[in-house]
Structure 1
């Protein structure tokens, strides 16, 4: 969480051309330029990396789950990561559009506030998708266990 707070807070703040006046979608240093790629890539990276490392850990330890992980592979992890990333991106984009259309024209935001929001949002989605990945891996193992017992 600490790297997400630091990188996703300080980098946008110091990148804003005028931190006292930041637009959501307009200008070269708009807020969407920072939050939208983050909303795509953090869930993608967290999901793929966590599922891969957890699967490697389970295979390396004698837990009796090795046979249940045969159907789990990198392409499945990548599909789940893309699904998570695109879902997060769509929700974030819709939220930004909603905010953009309810605020008055030419309205700008405080860069420090947006940088803090960006950092907290990065931490929240990192934590959420870590727990989501844990739950998904558990459900995949349970599904695999059910299929093995059914045969």
Structure 2
């Protein structure tokens, strides 16, 4: 979703790396091997369930909120489809969420193997509940096998 940050990590004797996000809304041009995969065919946006949501697509206009959303759906890409709404598509699992505004607020239609907007909405709600800490307060832990955890004060994600 194009909200990147730099982190300073320390590698420990057991191979675990820990550190913090430096903040500053750092953005870089990705090298070809780091480019997101091609989207392929868009999903059938009618084959899904729909519900009201308190967190609309406009939440992703904020850099820090988009970074938090990425921790819930790291392989998701965001596309503005115009009239149908904004699509978040997980390029790995092919799960997707289409968000649109109607006269009463935001609606989300989700399909695929996971409900990615449920995960994003939950993560953003917890982050806001914890006072929306700035990204330089986020901590990162990476284990030798590549598992990673990103947390902020008051929460474990």
TM-score for both structures, normalised by structure 2 = 0.29
Q: Decide which structure has greater helix share.
A: 1
TM-score (norm 1): 0.30
Answer with 1 or 2: which has the greater Rg.
1
- The structure carrying a bigger strand percent of its residues is 2
